[in-house]
Structure 1
């Protein structure tokens, strides 16, 4: 009789263990309202930021058309201003590589980002394309020859044998090719963002907020992973760590964001960090509004407010350090790289808090591996 009881208890234990394992892989074991969290993210944060970016892209396309129709330095300066405004708005949406956005390129980690902000730009591909007219912006080989970095070179850089940026469109033998190239790059960007906005304003919004699972295909899982991936790769590594030489023998000042404009890399980095802070705390990025359900409030619900406070404190310390840097990160790297590496160290300080502690608290598995070697 005793043996039968032990046998039955063993079976029950196995069933319970399997059930717990299934829960950890497919859903949440708490009653937090993930639908409300995803609704806040969709309606108050993601879609408004995407629509704002779409508007800034439209303004830049108009400035480009005015420049091409009347090529002069004044119109190039106006295009530069529109480029910067759109680039700043981009800092608020790069993080949202979800929905149709993640399917638009052959890079499964970067998705739509490759069409907007893969840097450093490969100038030789742009020059070859302008000379031959033979280029395909959808090809993998041209991912690093388009988007904002390509426009940065076209608007602010000086081509071989030229004296000023404007020469590309006036006295350069391939001036027509450069005009076509800048037109095609902006048209590509407009097409991509229009596709993404249409997806969110169509059926995707509802499917996003209703898919609360912690499984790999769940919206909540994807939001957590995209948030951490952008923080670790887009912000920490790309904007700070790679130029500072954290992943190489020597610093690489030519690998900063907006290298040719050369005086806005700090501004762009701070906007990227601002996006991280606001998404974490559930605050509107565009416009204003009270905080709503978010990663931070979820940690509160789980009685882990100390982790929430630690994460926000690390964000604040990082912001203060970045604010102290030169407006040009390439100049900062060359003149006092220690300050850049200190900013990287502060960014790194939140990686474990987010990638291990927060993800574990949310019962979410990380679906990417970091190849930066940290």
Structure 2
């Protein structure tokens, strides 16, 4: 019998362990951040890391905070008067908040890793039976590491707000109150961990991050490149490949896709890939792409940028919802999957090699 990864296997982010995750290959670099030609790259790296910290990462977390506050307001209206109308009113805010998370899924190191932010906010698919058990009994603990990951965050809200019969369950005079309390508890925890992450960046981690200029264990550039590869692995595997049947002999598990109940799986995947591109380019300022140019790897950088465009276009070509496209438009999904695989190889193998970074996380599907 073939081994099926769904429905039992969850996608959860890998928390980088500094001493084990990032062993940077120092070949071609000296300990003081100088290349073999004697040209110091420290000034460039400092400017690049400041750009990531001040223009991408920290503003991204602030946007997530703002989006969660808006979502909580819309959810409060739904909980006070459950109806198809108030449910529909939640969806744009839910999608905006979820996409705001996709924009900060990549920097899962430092404060975010300390808070287990990604695991808490986006372990999918949700553990429905345990969620329902907790609601029924009123006995649950969302602070338990690992065991509670699939019981909260966006995937849990996705099920609780947009799952089949969600409005009727919220309106139930007996069990509805426990369900409403559970939703509020989930939202409050999401806000708390996001706030903690923002505060820790401001309290000192920013300085640690922007001054990590050497290519040694735990360097900021090493974290970024490992996470670029990890996010591509997650897009190729749990977000698309696994529900598409790539780990289950072609058997599709559409309901295990990210954002399944709200039917925004495609939008989340596109947001995730666009975010990966932003982290690669550094937005409009210095990024990994410019660092490759500095290292004389212009052709590789051009190839990566071109493949980003191809992969994003292929992903956007999939008809929404993605969960239906797995069976309704499999050729289009397969085409996007292949382009994502090509981009993954460029980032995980070629970019890592060019920058002297060793990829040490365990990938999602063994390739």
What TM-score does the superposition give when structure 1 sets the normalisation length? 0.85
**Deviation at 1:146?**
0.9
Counterpart in the other structure of 1:5 = none
Counterpart in the other structure of 1:363 = 356
Q: Aligned partners of 1:72, 1:240: CA distance in 2, in Å?
A: 32
Q: Aligned partners of 1:44, 1:21: CA distance in 2, in Å?
A: 28
Counterpart in the other structure of 1:37 = 48
Counterpart in the other structure of 1:66 = 77
State the SS of the aligned residue for 2:148. Answer: helix
Specify which structure has the bigger relative contact order, considering alpha-carbon pairs within 8 angstroms and separated by 6 or more residues: 2
Q: Aligned partners of 1:172, 1:123: CA distance in 2, in Å?
A: 21
**Deviation at 1:195?**
0.4
Counterpart in the other structure of 2:242 = 242
Counterpart in the other structure of 2:316 = 323
Summarize the Cα distance change of 1:28–1:243 in structure 2 as closer, same or farther, 3 Å threshold: farther
Deviations 1:30-82 (A, max 9, x none): 22221111001001111111111110011112222333334444333322332
Counterpart in the other structure of 2:6 = none
Q: Aligned partners of 2:64, 2:259: CA distance in 1, in Å?
A: 18
Counterpart in the other structure of 1:142 = 148
Alpha-carbon RMSD across the aligned residues, in angstroms, is: 1.9
What TM-score does the superposition give when structure 2 sets the normalisation length? 0.86
Unaligned runs of 5+ in 2: 1-24
Q: Work out whether residues 256 and 265 of structure 1, in 8 Å CA contact, stay in contact via their aligned partners in 2.
A: yes
Deviations 1:134-181 (A, max 9, x none): 1111222221121111111111112xxxxx321111126411110111
Q: Which has the higher helix share?
A: 1
**Deviation at 1:367?**
2.4
Q: After the TM superposition, which of the residue ranges 196-205 and 73-82 deviates more from structure 2?
A: 73-82
**Deviation at 1:273?**
0.9
Summarize the Cα distance change of 1:339–1:87 in structure 2 as closer, same or farther, 3 Å threshold: same
Summarize the Cα distance change of 1:26–1:170 in structure 2 as closer, same or farther, 3 Å threshold: farther
Q: Aligned partners of 2:261, 2:32: CA distance in 1, in Å?
A: 47
Matches within 5 A, 1:154-303: 154-158=160-164, 164-171=165-172, 173-233=174-234, 235-249=235-249, 250-262=251-263, 264-283=264-283, 291-303=284-296
**1:314 maps to 2:307:** yes
**Deviation at 1:25?**
9.1
Q: Aligned partners of 1:339, 1:244: CA distance in 2, in Å?
A: 12
Q: Aligned partners of 1:27, 1:344: CA distance in 2, in Å?
A: 41
**1:47 maps to 2:58:** yes
Say which one has the larger Rg: 1
Q: Aligned partners of 2:95, 2:32: CA distance in 1, in Å?
A: 41
Q: Work out whether residues 246 and 341 of structure 1, in 8 Å CA contact, stay in contact via their aligned partners in 2.
A: no
**Deviation at 1:26?**
5.8
Q: Aligned partners of 2:75, 2:172: CA distance in 1, in Å?
A: 19
Q: Aligned partners of 1:26, 1:134: CA distance in 2, in Å?
A: 53
2:105 to 94, 103, 110: 94
Q: Aligned partners of 1:77, 1:21: CA distance in 2, in Å?
A: 53
Counterpart in the other structure of 2:16 = none
Deviations 1:173-211 (A, max 9, x none): 411110111010001100010001111122111111001
Q: After the TM superposition, which of the residue ranges 24-33 and 206-215 deviates more from structure 2?
A: 24-33
Q: Aligned partners of 1:71, 1:54: CA distance in 2, in Å?
A: 25
Matches within 5 A, 1:71-150: 71-104=82-115, 111-139=116-144, 140-150=146-156
Deviations 1:327-361 (A, max 9, x none): 11111012132321221111111222111211111
Q: Aligned partners of 2:31, 2:246: CA distance in 1, in Å?
A: 37
Q: Aligned partners of 1:230, 1:123: CA distance in 2, in Å?
A: 25
State the SS of the aligned residue for 1:350. Answer: helix
Q: Aligned partners of 2:34, 2:348: CA distance in 1, in Å?
A: 19
Q: Work out whether residues 116 and 189 of structure 1, in 8 Å CA contact, stay in contact via their aligned partners in 2.
A: yes
Pairs aligned (count): 335
Q: Aligned partners of 1:21, 1:359: CA distance in 2, in Å?
A: 12
Q: Aligned partners of 1:135, 1:102: CA distance in 2, in Å?
A: 23
